[in-house]
Amino acid sequence: KGLLGRIDFFLSETARAQGLSRAEWPARLQRLTRGPLAALLPPEWELWLDGGHNADAGLAIARFFEDSAPLHLIIGMLANKDPAAILAPLAGKLRSVSVVPAPGHEAHAPGDFAAHTALPVSSFPDVAAALVARSDMRVADKNLVSVPNAQGQTRAEQALLHNYSGYGWKDVLQA
């Protein structure tokens, strides 16, 4: 039996539904609106954090951003994970791919990601450097500021920070 099956006698169906609807799962499609990383971006940009590491996570990310502007993906991935698990579902949804190291862990190199995308893959020493480089693109190309979605509405440029290493989520989330 799952966890919910064990707590039937403690919580009503309504209480469980309310609790689940209000649940927060840090680093799973979490929007970062403040802190040092968010401060590096222009105000109209959105910064999202996700720590998924398999094909199901890649599909969930792709579904979540289905109607959004193309994403700037910043990724650091442990060497024992499959880059295609994230890149394949996002094919056609990415504007750029930036690779950062996973300090203290064996991680994929930029070339490992290049094999799974037609986009150029850039390497940066850390997430902050990648965000600054990507947000500076908007100054050079005004087309990057917003892109109409399928309904003709515009959405802010988005950066998706994706890192499997556990490389400091606590630091990012507390920022």
Burial class (CB in 10 A: 0-12, 13-18, 19+), 150: exposed
Instruction: Check whether 143 has a pLDDT greater than 80.
Output: no
Residue 92 · residue 73 · CB < 8 Å: no
Cα 4 to Cα 9, 14, 15, 99, 121, distances in angstroms: 10, 13, 11, 39, 43
Instruction: Specify which residues 96 forms β-bridges with.
Output: 72
Range with the lowest mean pLDDT among 4-13, 68-77, 88-97, 166-175?
Answer: 166-175
Three-state SS for 168?
coil
pLDDT score for 153: 34
pLDDT score for 161: 62
Instruction: Check whether 147 has a pLDDT greater than 50.
Output: no
How much of the chain exceeds pLDDT 90, in percent?
30
Residue 57 · residue 160 · CB < 8 Å: no
Whether the full predicted model's pTM is greater than 0.75, yes or no, is no
Cα–Cα distance for residue pair 41/39, rounded to 1 Å? 5
Which residue would you say has higher pLDDT here, 33 or 172? 33
Instruction: Specify which residues 107 forms β-bridges with.
Output: 78
DSSP codes, 34-91: SSHHHHTS-TT-EEEEE---SHHHHHHHHHHTTTSPPEEEEEE-BTTS-HHHHHTTTT
The residue type of 68 is S
pLDDT tens-place string over residues 56-93? 999 999 999 998 888 899 999 999 999 999 999 999 99
pLDDT score for 4: 56
Instruction: Check whether 96 has a pLDDT greater than 70.
Output: yes
pLDDT score for 146: 29
